[in-house]
A = this chain, B = another copy of it.
Amino acid sequence: MAVGEYPFPHMHPVKGVKLTAVSAGIKKPGRRDVVLFELAEGAQVAGVFTQNAFCAAPVTVCREHLSKAAIRYLVINSGNANACTGEQGLLDAKATCAEIARQAGVTTEQVLPFSTGVIGEPLPVQKILAVIPDALAKASEQGWDDAGAGIMTTDTRPKGFSQQFDYQGQTITVNGIAKGAGMIKPNMATMLGYIATDAKVAQPVLQQLCREAANKSFNRITIDGDTSTNDSCIFIATGQVNLPEITSPDGELYEKLREVVLAAFVHLAQCIVSDGEGATKFVTVAVAGGANQQECLDVAYAVAHSPLIKTALFASDPNWGRIVAAIGYAGVPDLDATSVRVHLNDVLIVEKGGRAKTYTEEQGQAVMSQANIAINIHLGRGDCAETLWTTDLSYEYVRINADYRS
């Protein structure tokens, strides 16, 4: 199940990025499950990762390698998360990097490993090692479609973004792919996201933009409130475009690039929500009028995580009492219930501590029957605002997660 149309776009090549997906037999036979990125020399790489204390072995290795070396290869397997695998998990992740390094003539630290899938099973490292020669041979600038499909697990469709803009006669490309459908409440980044540009960006600027964009996109979505052990988001700048390096977060080129990069992150994050496990609704929760950002987020997450609201959304039931109950228990200090206003899309439903006089059930029903619903909350106590995106809770969510060992 998935909400709306998010077709996989035509992916322009990004100069300096070659990639492919091959089949190692980790997922069902015939499905591609190992993706390899090959980056041109000089590429800069930034990353943000899960804050889960039980972070997966590859996340630990990524953090270490990113801090030590110029990254040239990324290897991603789907079907096994290599999480909660103890010391052996770290050895397996490093063995994968070491073998790619050996065959490609780089150092082990120049390879970043990623895994997504079942938690707690040993990584089938021999299967991965066996397909490395094939992956290295096949990597090409045309590999984005295959890579987008190769990183999927319970996703029903691949998620991609590709956009170009011109600057001083040069064309700059921003591409991205992501995966994720369950265990989604990223705290740094989504399950897995890879965004690449051929612009030339200094690493500190790249890292800062990666963090800002993740905070406005992947860190503002939630499907089930479960923060994964493997969340990783990587932002690559190959520097292959014939333009000066961006060395500080300002100037016309930086602003143009930032705009497209933010669009890429937000699009991929929204793709993940629209493909949320069992999702039948795409829900925007926008909280304004807060005294600070945190209380806006607290209210937004309380609404987005409430199983009662999520089941009402599934039922297309304008059960607004559940929304105000969630606002009320979100922990906002000294919240004055009579100053809170709630709109469903542009229909005012709650004001002065009760149902709006103008509200009719038909108005609410008309909004709730749509696939895209905005819950707009105004706290009436300040100027801060936060927006996040989520889904409903359906039979299908229960079926997927009761049947599937993820």
Contacts and interface: CB of A to CB of B under 8 A. Distances in A.
A377 interface: no
Interface in A223-238: 224-229
A36 to B, nearest CB: 26
Interface stretch (A50-58, A61-69, A125-133): A50-58
A314 B398 contact: yes
Given A120-B355, A350-B84, A395-B399, A226 B54 contact: no
A50 to B, nearest CB: 8
A198 B219 CA distance: 55
Contacts of A53: 327-329, 332, 335-337
B354 A89 contact: yes
Contacts of A228: 325
A405 B307 contact: no
A320 interface: yes
A311 interface: yes
Nearest to A229: B325
A401 B328 contact: no
A49 to B, nearest CB: 13
Contact of A402 (B315, B350, B403): B315
Give how many copies assemble into the complex: 2
Interface residues of A, number: 67
Nearest to A89: B354
A317 B85 CA distance: 19
A374 interface: no
Interface string A24-66: 0000000000000000000000000001111100000000000
Contact of A84 (B83, B324, B332, B336): B324
Contact of A321 (B118, B225, B395): B118
Contacts of A395: 395, 398-399
Contacts of A406: 308, 319, 321-322
Given A350-B84, A402-B317, A329 B89 contact: no
Contacts of A183: 308, 322, 325
A306 to B, nearest CB: 5
A320 B121 CA distance: 11
* 3 nearest A-B residue pairs (beta carbon): A119-B321, A86-B354, A54-B328
17 contacts: A51-B329, A53-B327, A54-B324, A54-B327, A83-B325, A87-B352, A87-B353, A119-B322, A120-B354, A225-B305, A226-B308, A226-B329, A229-B321, A229-B324, A321-B406, A393-B398, A395-B395
Interface of A: 51-55, 81, 83-89, 118-120, 182-183, 185, 187, 224-229, 305-308, 311-312, 314-315, 317, 319-322, 324-329, 332, 335-338, 340, 350, 352-355, 393-395, 397-399, 401-403, 405-406
